[in-house]
Amino acid sequence: MTRYKATIAYDGTDFAGFQTQVNQRTVQAELEKVLTKLNSYEPVILQGSGRTDAGVHAFGQVIHFDLLGQPRDLERLRFGLDTQTPADIAVKKIEQVDEQWHARYCKHEKIYEYYLENAVTRSPFSRNAKAYFRYPLDFDRMQEALSVLTGTHDFTGFTASGSSVDDKVRTISQAEVIQLDEENFKFVFRANGFLYKQVRNMVGTVIKIGNDRMPVSQIEKILMTKNRDFAGPTAAPEGLYLKEVIYDQGE
Amino acid sequence: MTRYKATIAYDGTDFAGFQTQVNQRTVQAELEKVLTKLNSYEPVILQGSGRTDAGVHAFGQVIHFDLLGQPRDLERLRFGLDTQTPADIAVKKIEQVDEQWHARYCKHEKIYEYYLENAVTRSPFSRNAKAYFRYPLDFDRMQEALSVLTGTHDFTGFTASGSSVDDKVRTISQAEVIQLDEENFKFVFRANGFLYKQVRNMVGTVIKIGNDRMPVSQIEKILMTKNRDFAGPTAAPEGLYLKEVIYDQGE
């Protein structure tokens, strides 16, 4: 057995999310189908750094998996996997790793990006690739709200209810908004982990603040009360990209 | 009756092309469905500046149509048409024009853009939005080939056989390639008109020249002999965008 780490990109539009679900088209299932073929038809179960929801994209999701036999030629393996998976998945890089290495449990930070089109008319080219908000947004108010989110907090108020994780304290080391052009914003979040729907709930809240329908102080209130009801709506999935998973050195 | 000129964008991925065809999803048919509704259910037939093929996109196609009654509020009409058409069509602008004005017959130039990803791995996000070529491309050779195409020529050798147009002389006032980044090229063509599949045949030929599998002098040969067999393959539709239709002033 040899363990491999792979960096993949996918367009989440036509997937029911990353993780395998019965009778659904998922990124994991599509990859495992091909990996099993490349493993002399012995089933392969892969592990991702985490899940992404239906419609959410990835520029750089990281997975690991084991294949029978000696280490393989990495570019040949990458090319085989890339060309045999559907066109909405790309396999960008494969490395050989120690058999202890684990995409989920090895310590890492994640970077998410969120693309938002803020224009009078929604572009037909962004309908699956960016979220859309028609009304005015105040850049400074959004940046201020994001600066309150930065740091170590209990993010219970920004996660979906029914989440099974106990410890909801996370450290956000970067939370900012960039104005790409007159009609486009990009939000960037970097943290040692994110709770279920946390990024989309933070973006939905920040948009509401940017549109002046919530005070900036609401962020503090949501963090303190841990009450999801005070937060804005969950922002649409099509704007969200798992940009990068950054592992600690030596792991 | 009042005549309107509209500028529209569409993602061509899920259309069988611009022009109405029996039992096919087309841009024209989707627009006419809504226009007819806005015209008290009296059928509306629109005219485009020209057709685009299946999979080809538009940033700025121009159409005209007539609606019953007095001139309407233009922003209200635009908004109604934009929001009632499917998400892969956007209505960007509506102007009222003279009843003689004609999207196809009023003198105009067209600008087409062609996006090409030139990378080892095809991005899942460009699969419907850019063409893809895996092998090396020489920028200078492509630019040289494009400069030979510029000017007034008989483009018979670059059109699909069976084309019904008699006069195949066109004037290309701009033909250039721009390197957008390490993995992306954009071709720009401006002319007083293009023949059926002309842009894609020119791009397919220029790519072959850029990959050094055809001499630059082949362009001259195709123009002189008017023989399609000497040209490269028709480049894929998903890279092509009708960027703009520029009408002469006063028309």
- 8 A C-beta contact, residue A36 and residue A43: yes
Q: Do domains A2-97 and A108-247 have the same CATH topology?
A: yes
Look at residues B44, B59, B50 and name the one whose alpha carbon lies nearest to residue B4: B44
- 8 A C-beta contact, residue B186 and residue B177: yes
ipTM given for this complex = 0.86
Token pair belonging to B11: 């993602």
Distances in Å between the Cα of A217 and the Cα atoms of A5, A145, A206, B115 are 42, 8, 11, 45
Q: Which residues of A are catalytic?
A: 53
Residue B91 forms contact with A (CB below 8 Å):
yes
Within the 123-182 window of chain B, which residues sit less than 8 Å (CB to CB) from chain A?
123-125, 127, 129
- Three-state DSSP class for residue B47: strand
Please give the class, per CATH, of domain A108-247. alpha beta
Query: pLDDT tens across B28-58, in order?
Result: 999 999 999 999 999 999 999 999 999 999 9
CATH of B2-97, one of 3.30.70.580, 3.10.20.740, 3.20.20.10, 3.10.50.30: 3.30.70.580
- Tell me: is residue B114 an annotated ligand-binding position: no
Query: pLDDT tens across A15-53, in order?
Result: 999 999 999 999 999 999 999 999 999 999 999 999 999
- Alpha carbon B117 to its chain's center: 19
What confidence score (pLDDT) does residue A63 get? 98
Q: How far apart are the CA of A245 and the nearest CA of chain B, in angstroms?
A: 18
Domain boundaries, chain B: 2-97, 109-247
What confidence score (pLDDT) does residue B116 get? 98
Examine the pLDDT at A151 and tell me if it is beyond 80: yes
The three-point CA angle A146-A151-A156 to 5° equals 80
Which residue out of B11, B14, B53, B229 is catalytically annotated? B53
Helix/strand/coil percent split, chain A, to 5:
25, 30, 45
Instruction: Name the DSSP class of A112.
Output: E
Lowest-confidence segment of A57-61, A127-131, A163-167, B39-43 by average pLDDT: A163-167
What is the average pLDDT value for chain A, to the nearest integer? 96
What confidence score (pLDDT) does residue B127 get? 94
What confidence score (pLDDT) does residue B166 get? 82
Helical (H) or strand (E) element with B174: strand B169-181
Residue A76 forms contact with B (CB below 8 Å):
no
Q: How far apart are CA A47 and CA A60, in angstroms?
A: 14
Which chain A residues are closer than 8 Å to B93 by Cβ?
A: none
Nearest Cα residue in chain A from B75: A120
Q: Is the domain B109-247 a CATH 3.30.497.10 member?
A: no
Q: Are strands A108-117 and A131-132 parallel, antiparallel or unpaired?
A: parallel
Query: Among A88, A90, A121, whose Cβ lies nearest the Cβ of B82?
Result: A121
> What is the three-state SS of B78-109?
HHHHHHHCCCCEEEEEEEEECCCCCCCCCCEE
The HSE-up count of residue B164 (CA atoms within 13 Å, CB side) is 0
* Contact check, Cβ <8 Å, B125/A57: yes
Burial classification of residue B2, based on how many CB atoms lie within 10 Å of its CB (0-12 exposed, 13-18 middle, 19 or more buried) = middle
Return per-residue pLDDT of chain B as tens, 251 residues.
999 999 999 999 999 999 999 999 999 999 999 999 999 999 999 999 999 999 999 999 999 999 999 999 999 999 999 999 999 999 999 999 999 999 999 999 999 999 999 999 999 999 999 999 999 999 999 999 999 999 999 999 999 876 677 899 999 999 999 999 999 999 999 999 999 999 999 999 999 999 999 999 999 999 999 999 999 999 999 999 999 999 997 54
pLDDT band at residue A251 under the 50/70/90 scheme? very low
Nearest Cα residue in chain A from B123: A90
Residue B11 forms contact with A (CB below 8 Å):
yes
